[in-house]
């Protein structure tokens, strides 16, 4: 019976009037953590964790959750389940979209399942139409990291600490959701986190640098309770946030906006030099798309709000627990 109900709901929910669609994508490449004095910062063991999650609360029941620890490639999450046989599901690691904003070579990133027009660099209003969103209600999330193979144990990642001839870690993440006004609450969330420790031989300013690509799409042809797409990158040293980069597109009323941003060598730095010693650090990023379209879901929504950020903080808590087991070098 549940299979029949899901199939009927899928047939009813093809995008049309009362459509809401959000897509959030980021590509963070060449992550490096360095001091201002060459050779003064040396890195230790590093962990990488990433996971994806997608859920729908109304219209179609279904839940998919995939988590990994110690690898760069978690499985894609996708709802509704079961997926309609007549609607091709997006392949995981959909590396078929070449972003025109990125330089030649590293321009391949995770793509939209439901592709929409790109528009120029910056923010473009009025670009998407209902015809561009011809899919049933759905939510998906995927993340893919590239770098040295991680086996679940503390691993040296020389590229993260800008060793000569090494490139930094890279992460591509997407979250995408489409719904009609009757659907309710739908979200997709993909999270990645890097954690470890570093040692400063003498007092120094510490900086995180990376190249950053953002694509955000928001479309709604009807008033809805709230919907947004967001991407975030945050550096935390010794439990204190040193820098946060966040971009979002949001609405509580009809919206049609596409944001394409590309930035080389984005940098976060400690506001003042850190004393010599050993420090723990975390770098976390996520892509998040949330749709809350039905008034009856608002009462329960505060428990869901900011789920992507809470998920990221959950990853950080686990990473902190691991870091307490990392031996501090003698004399630090």
Q: Are 115 and 109 in contact (CB under 8 A)?
A: no
d(CA 251, CA 125) in angstroms, rounded, equals: 13
Centroid of chain to Cα 76: 12
Stronger pLDDT, 47 or 278, i.e. the higher one: 278
For the cut 60, the answer to whether the pLDDT of residue 87 exceeds it is yes
* Average pLDDT score over residue span 43-54: 83
% of the chain beyond a pLDDT of 70: 70
The candidate with the shortest Cα–Cα distance to 188, out of 270, 113, 255, is 113
Q: What is the mean pLDDT of the chain?
A: 76
Query: Does residue 114 surpass a pLDDT of 60?
Result: yes
pTM above 0.85, yes or no: no
The confidence score (pLDDT) of residue 206 equals 95
pLDDT band of 208, cuts 50, 70, 90: very high
- Provide the pairing of β-strand 108-109 with 41-56: unpaired
Per DSSP, the residues of 7-32 read HHHHHHT-S-SSEEEEEEEEEEEEEE
Beta-bridged to residue 172, according to DSSP, are: 27, 144
How would residue 157 be classed by pLDDT, with cut points 50, 70 and 90? Answer: low
Candidate from 114-128, 129-143, 291-305 with smallest mean pLDDT? 291-305
> Which of 19-23, 143-147, 199-203 has the lowest average pLDDT?
143-147
pLDDT in tens, 164-201: 556 667 889 999 998 877 667 888 989 888 888 999 99
Q: In the prediction, which pLDDT does 149 show?
A: 54
| pLDDT bracket for residue 64 (50, 70, 90) | low
Given a cut of 70, is residue 65 above it in pLDDT? no
Higher pLDDT, 329 or 184: 184
In DSSP terms, which residues pair with 64 in a beta bridge? Answer: 54
Here the tokens at position 9 are 């709901």
**Separation CA 235–CA 48 (nearest Å):** 14
Q: In whole angstroms, what is the distance from residue 131 CA to residue 141 CA?
A: 22
Q: What is the pLDDT of residue 328?
A: 35
Look at 65 and 290; give whichever has higher pLDDT.
Answer: 290
Domains in the chain: boundaries: 2-323
| CA pair distance 30, 43, nearest whole angstrom | 16
C-alpha dist (Å) from residue 157 to 37, 51, 76, 194, 325: 20, 20, 25, 10, 19
């Amino acid at each position: 019976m549940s299979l029949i109900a899901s199939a009927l709901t899928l047939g009813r929910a093809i995008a049309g009037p009362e459509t809401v669609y959000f897509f959030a994508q980021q590509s963070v490449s060449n992550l490096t953590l360095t001091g201002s004095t060459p050779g003064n910062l040396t890195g230790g063991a590093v962990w990488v964790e990433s996971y994806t999650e997608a859920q729908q609360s109304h219209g179609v029941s279904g839940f998919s959750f995939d988590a990994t620890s110690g690898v760069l490639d978690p499985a894609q999450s996708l709802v509704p389940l079961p997926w309609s046989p007549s609607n091709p599901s997006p392949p995981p690691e959909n590396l078929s979209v070449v972003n025109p904003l990125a330089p030649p070579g590293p321009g391949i990133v995770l793509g939209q399942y439901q592709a929409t027009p790109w528009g120029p660099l910056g923010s473009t209003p009025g670009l998407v139409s209902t015809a561009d969103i011809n899919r049933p209600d759905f939510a998906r999330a995927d993340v893919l990291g590239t770098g040295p193979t991680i086996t679940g144990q503390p691993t040296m990642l020389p590229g993260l600490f800008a060793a000569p001839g090494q490139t930094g870690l890279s992460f591509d993440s997407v979250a995408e959701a489409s719904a009609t006004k009757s659907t309710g609450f739908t979200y997709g969330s993909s999270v990645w986190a890097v954690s470890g420790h570093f040692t400063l031989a003498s007092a120094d300013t510490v900086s995180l640098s990376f190249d950053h690509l953002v694509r955000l799409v928001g479309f709604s042809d009807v008033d809805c309770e709230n919907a947004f797409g967001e991407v975030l990158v945050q550096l935390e040293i010794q439990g204190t946030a040193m820098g946060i980069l966040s971009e979002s597109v949001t609405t509580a009323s009809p919206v049609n906006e596409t944001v394409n941003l590309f930035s080389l060598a984005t940098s976060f730095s400690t506001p003042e030099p850190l004393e010599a010693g050993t420090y723990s650090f975390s770098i976390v990023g996520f892509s998040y798309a949330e749709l809350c379209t039905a008034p009856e879901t608002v009462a329960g929504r505060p428990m869901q709000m900011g789920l992507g950020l809470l998920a990221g903080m959950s990853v950080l808590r686990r990473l902190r627990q691991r870091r307490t087991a990392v031996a501090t070098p003698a004399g630090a």
